[in-house]
Amino acid sequence: MSKVNLSLPAVQIREIRINSITGFQGGAAELVSCARRGIKDNPRSFTQCVGCASSKAACMTILVQDGAVISHGPVGCSSCYHEFAFTYRVNSPLRGVETPTQRKIYSTNLTERDTVYGGNGKLANAIREVYERARPKAIFVLTTCAAGIIGDDVESVCDEAEAELGIPVAAIFCEGFRSSVWTTGFDAGYHGIARKLIKPPRKRRDDLINVINFWGSDVFKDWFAPFGAKPNYITPYSTVESLARSSEAAATVQACSTLGSYLGAVLEQEFGVPELPTAPPYGVAQTDRWFRALGKLLGKEAAAEQVIAEKKAEYLPKIAAVRERIRAIKPDGELTAYVTGGAAHGHALLSVLGELEIKAAGAAIFHHDPLFDNGEPDSDQLAQRVKDYGDVPNFNVCNKQEFELVNVLNRLRPDLLLARHGGMTLWGAKLGIPSLLIGDEHYAMGYEGLVKYGERILETLENDEFVKNLERHAVNPYTDWWLRQKPNTFLTRKENRACAAV
């Protein structure tokens, strides 16, 4: 049953909508097998700072070229957004934006008085002020904990402003406390965009494919060309107009299934844009499937087979060569790696390891979606990893809890740490483990990506002097007691059974 309901102002949170969880320790295969049987979360009695839904909604709106973003809250609730302004400028050449304009980011600056008398008036004035200053094509209003608890009627204020100004003013409900799965913030952002920006299709364009993504390199242009199509990247670097017309695309593909889960489903169910029913192309087997699925969806199976054949002829020998060089690093034993990152992309990196024949010693993945909004089992990247390359032991759904990561890394001492999010690589390095973070999530995609990523792994393993030196001088705030405990010590249930049925 679809959980998409655009008539409601707020998106349903992930833990309710698709049963996402933030706590589990066990094997990847076990987690995957539970997915169809219902899954049970496992909360912790000790927690460290986690991410915020609002910043996830923020990155999907701030990077819309001609929009403006208002954080309706105290000034602190938008204080990390300057990072997205930096990202926008730095990555603009990757997306052909030649003169990146200054990002328009505002805070309504709620103060104590507003928590008593309400902030509706302040928000209404802020929207007008922002419109006058920046003349954006759309305004996104992000809610915060304070605005949520004092009960401001953000939806009505936005609707009234929209009527007055004649541009979309989208209320985006992304208060941090609403969901313990902060990727709900992506859904919230997309929900607002879908309600206020995306227009019903006037026609179907077979030359346009939506790519729901962050801000990585433009790999899809070349990949879609043989199919006579081009990518419509959403939502970073999109425009209000291109978002409006995303409803007319021939298909939607995901760069990271957990990111675009909700928007993909919305585009399919509300606007008739079919979502590619398979996980993103990481690893040879999945890349084959991905191109085939694309060919089938577009009715261009022959083109798909040709792309696959050509690319494999070119890249399989190169992948084999990289694999050989990696094997040579530890000729008498198995090279091991540990992965930490968000769901879906972390799973993708596990597939990359599988393809390069590096043993996955374990993983700390921030949350887990048993099934995405499309309900399609083939979109499950972890299932794909397990099927193509085998189980992953020590699989921790970790909610970005550093203390568990440190504990596990200290036990496993893998040869390599792959990370996707800031703040995590440091701990690999402190333990003397060569650590690699690649921000561009498109980097390892496709056949060619395996070569590129493999090269970076080789470089990281080769240049380990820095981490070895850091290890000798590293400061460690964790107690010896904690490092001796089992990593599941602070999970409520210790038996590691994820399945609700068990």
Partner 1 sequence: MRGGVIEQERYTCAIGAMQSVVAIPRTVPILHSGPGCGDMIGGFFERATGYAGGSTAPCTNFSEKEVVFGGIDRLREIVENTFKVLDTDLQVILTGCTSGIVGDDADSLAEEFRDEGRPVVAVETAGFKSSNFEAHSAVVNAIIDQYVDLYAEENGRRSEKNTVNLFASLPYQDPFWKGNLSEYKRLLEGLGLKVHILFGPLSDGVKEWRRIPRANCNILVSPWYGLPIAEHLEAKYGQAFTWFPHIPIGANQTEKFLSQVIGFVLAQGAEIDRAKAEAFVRRESAAYYEEIDNLATFLLEFRYGLPNHVHILHDAGYVVGLSKFLLHEAGIVPKEQFVTDNTPEKFQEQIQAELSSASGKREIPIVFEPDAGLAQEAIRKLAHSGRGLIIGSGWDKALAREKDYDFLSAALPSPYRLVLAANYAGFSGGLRVIEDIYHNVLATYR
**Which residues of this chain interact with partner 1, rule CB under 8 A?**
45-55, 70, 73-83, 85-86, 89, 102, 104-115, 122, 125-126, 129-130, 133, 144-146, 149-150, 175-178, 180, 182, 400, 402-403, 423-424, 426, 475-479, 481-482, 490
Least distance from partner 1 to the Cβ atom of residue 125, Å: 8
Q: How many residues does the chain have?
A: 502
Nearer to partner 1, 130 or 157 (CB): 130
Rounded to 5°, the CA angle 255-258-264 comes to: 70
Least distance from partner 1 to the Cβ atom of residue 85, Å: 7
Least distance from partner 1 to the Cβ atom of residue 183, Å: 12
Nearer to partner 1, 170 or 250 (CB): 170
Contact 473, 429 (CB under 8 A): no
Least distance from partner 1 to the Cβ atom of residue 230, Å: 30
Nearer to partner 1, 25 or 287 (CB): 25
Q: Determine the Cα–Cα distance for residues 416 and 19; give it in Å rounded to an integer.
A: 32
Least distance from partner 1 to the Cβ atom of residue 116, Å: 10
Nearer to partner 1, 74 or 231 (CB): 74
Give the rounded distance of the alpha carbon of 248 from its chain centre: 24
Contact 63, 192 (CB under 8 A): no
Q: Which residue has the tokens 């590691």?
A: 496
Nearer to partner 1, 128 or 456 (CB): 128
List C-alpha distances in Å: 257 to 34, 72, 420, 449: 19, 29, 15, 18
Contact 171, 143 (CB under 8 A): yes
Least distance from partner 1 to the Cβ atom of residue 58, Å: 10
Nearer to partner 1, 117 or 334 (CB): 117
Nearer to partner 1, 33 or 115 (CB): 115
Nearer to partner 1, 51 or 264 (CB): 51
Nearer to partner 1, 282 or 403 (CB): 403
Using DSSP's 3-state secondary structure scheme, residue 96 falls into: coil
Using DSSP's 3-state secondary structure scheme, residue 232 falls into: strand
Torsion sign, CA atoms 388, 391, 394, 398: positive
Instruction: Please report which helix (H) or strand (E) contains residue 411, including its range.
Output: helix 402-412
Contact 188, 175 (CB under 8 A): no
Least distance from partner 1 to the Cβ atom of residue 134, Å: 9
Least distance from partner 1 to the Cβ atom of residue 53, Å: 7
Retrieve residue 486's tokens: 């089992």
Intra-chain end-to-end CA distance of the chain, in Å: 24
Least distance from partner 1 to the Cβ atom of residue 130, Å: 7
Among 77, 56, 68, which Cα is nearest to 127's?
68
Q: State the CB neighbour count (10 A cutoff) for residue 113.
A: 10
Contact 442, 216 (CB under 8 A): yes
